[in-house]
Amino acid sequence: MSSNSPRLWIVATPIGNPGDISKRAIDVLTSADVVCAEDTRQAGLLFKRLGITGARFYSLFEQNEEKRVEAVLRHLEEGDSVALISNAGSPLISDPGYVLVRTCQKKGFRVSPVPGPSAPVAALTASGLPTHPFTFLGFMPRKNRERERTLAPFADVKTTLIFFERKSRLLDSLEAAFTVLGDRETCLSRELTKPHEEFIHFRLAEGHRLDIEMRGEFTVVIGPPEPETGQTPLKDLEDLLRKRSRSGGRPQEIVRDVQGLVHGWDRKSVYRVYIEIQREEG
């Protein structure tokens, strides 16, 4: 398969360690007539590290993708080969490119992947959580109500969930996940394939207590719901609520902590029991 034939190449690039790029990817990028990049400056630095010279870059990001499609089609019609890369990892995975790929296919041009690094897959395989099936959700929405709406369809689905999150919204997203999904095994990863690569394991009920340096972006892997072990008896729930209340804290914190320790009780039900106890103890 010649990389000189007119087609669109979807080329995965390193997510951290530059040594992860494949020889095939380098060959395709070297021979491509045009390279579409999410950030042409970053692409230029990558090509410099790889020793590739003379590349012709087009910027292609979310806001200009539809406009850029026509230019790419013209190159393909003239017999050129075009490579698409993102800032890191596999294009289209929470990155631009879907519109371009879809249009090229509809117009009859070949689209070929050059697979390689992918942050969601890398995080999943090293998380120690079930790898099949899994669902990738991309970046979480900014608003809490939208986060909960995104997660809600998976509350009772036995699938591992993966999403990206920025440091400024990480704790809010973990809180939303606990509210909607309940207590589950979770793994945070950051700096994947880099010298300071890190994996942090905890349960969602403990997410609000995380004491980590908030820097960069995180890949969050949440395990599937665990087998039911029967509902915790009401008396045990009441005892836990009374014990936790003696430690102090806001009602929301008390209810959240206790819900993570019981089975078969959703947040609202635990809250109702908590309120009843407060009334009794007056």
pLDDT tens for each residue of 161-180: 999 999 999 999 999 999 89
Strands (E), the chain: 7-11, 34-37, 57-59, 82-85, 110-114, 134-139, 160-166, 185-190, 198-203, 217-222
| Structure confidence at residue 102 as a pLDDT band (50, 70, 90) | very high
Helix spans in 83-229 (H): 98-106, 119-127, 144-151, 170-181
- Say whether pLDDT at 63 is over 60: yes
- Say whether pLDDT at 282 is over 80: no
User: Residue 255 in contact with residue 194, Cβ under 8 Å?
Assistant: no
pLDDT tens for each residue of 73-84: 999 999 999 999
User: Please, what is the average pLDDT of the chain?
Assistant: 92
Length of the chain: 282
Give SS3 for 152: helix
Residue type, position 164, single letter:
F
Structure confidence at residue 226 (pLDDT)? 80
- Say whether pLDDT at 42 is over 90: yes
- What are the angstrom distances between the C-alpha of 136 and each of 66, 114, 139, 178? 24, 20, 9, 17
- Say whether pLDDT at 4 is over 70: no
**Residue that wins the pLDDT comparison between 213 and 183:** 183
pLDDT tens for each residue of 234-248: 988 999 999 889 888
Structure confidence at residue 229 (pLDDT)? 67
DSSP secondary structure letter of residue 13: B
- Among 246, 247, 248, 272, CA closest to 259: 272
- Among 204, 208, 222, 209, CA closest to 260: 204
